[in-house]
Structures are given as structure tokens and as C-alpha cells.
Amino acid sequence: QVQLVESGGGVVQPGRSLRLSCAASGFTFSSYAIHWVRQAPGKGLEWVAVISYDGSSKDNADSVKGRFTISRDNSKNTLYLQMNSLRADDTAVYYCARDVGCCYAPGGYIDYWGQGTLVTVSS
């Protein structure tokens, strides 16, 4: 069965960095685009970033552009989110989520989600 397991969350001071990981299993990781989606405490879902199946195409939300970088290592079946210059409003549970297709093209949607990892940005 499809499994996505996030790790790397924790408490970090404003301005510092953190790297999240998402280990995938149960499917051919290298065939799917993967998203990061976050959820601030008590709030709704916010799309953060996406990367295509082979890593050749990626994009970020405006709220994290220039600070967060999505990447993947298909040899390790692992997705990453490098988060720099963290701010208090980045505090959220971060989910990795599988797109149904390879390339986040029209018609794609998220079909599986991990359990999430909590990032708290606080001094």
C-alpha cells in the first residue's frame, strides 16, 4: 500500500533553517509528482510546493518563494523540503502528498497523503 512518512519537524528559531524528508514506499516513487502541503494550527490546507516525477520541474507558493526548496532523490525514494529564513507564520503541520500523475498537469490531483510532521517556529 502507498505510504508516505514525513520526518524532520521540530521547534526552530525564527530565521533558522530546517530540512524535512518524506520517505515513500508501496509505489513507484520515480513515476509521480509529489507535493508539500501545510496546515497551520486550527487552519485549512495551504499548498506549498510541487516537483515533477524526475525533478526537472518544480514550483513554490508565493508565500515561500525564495526561502523553501523542494527536491527529490529517486534512488532513495525520498522527497525533501529545505526551509530557510523560517518565520512564525511557517508554523504548521507539513504533509507530503502524491499527485495522481507525473507532472502536475491539468487533471492531476492529490490521491495520497502522509501523516505530516509539525514545524514550530518560535523563539
Partner 1 sequence: QSALTQPASVSGSPGQSITISCTGTSSDVGGYNYVSWYQQHPGKAPKLMIYDVTSRPSGVSNRFSGSKSGNRASLTISGLQAEDEADYYCSSYTSRSTPHVVFGGGTKLTVL
Residue 50, amino acid: V
Count residues near partner 1 (CB under 8 A).
Answer: 26
Under rule CB under 8 A, residue 46 binds partner 1: yes
CA 120/CA 102 separation, integer angstroms: 31
Cα of first residue to Cα of last residue in the chain, in angstroms, is 40
Specify the residue, 83 or 116, whose C-beta has the smaller distance to partner 1.
116
Q: Which residues pair with 120 in a beta bridge?
A: 11
Q: Which is nearer to partner 1, 54 or 111 (CB)?
A: 111
Residue 73: strand pairing partners: 78
User: What is the full DSSP assignment across 66-80?
Assistant: TTEEEEEETTTTEEE
Taking the complex as a whole, the smallest distance from the CB of residue 45 to partner 1 amounts, in Å, to 4
Between 63 and 84, CB nearer to partner 1:
63
70 near partner 1 (CB under 8 A)? no
- Residue 84 has which C-alpha cell? 530557510
Smallest distance from partner 1 to CB 91, Å: 17
Indicate whether 100 belongs to the interface with partner 1 (CB under 8 A). Answer: yes
Binding-site member from 114, 117, 119, 121 for partner 1 (CB under 8 A): 114
Q: Write phi, then psi, for 95 (nearest 5 degrees).
A: -110, 140
Binding site for partner 1 (CB under 8 A): 35, 37, 44-47, 50, 59-62, 95, 97, 100, 104, 106-116
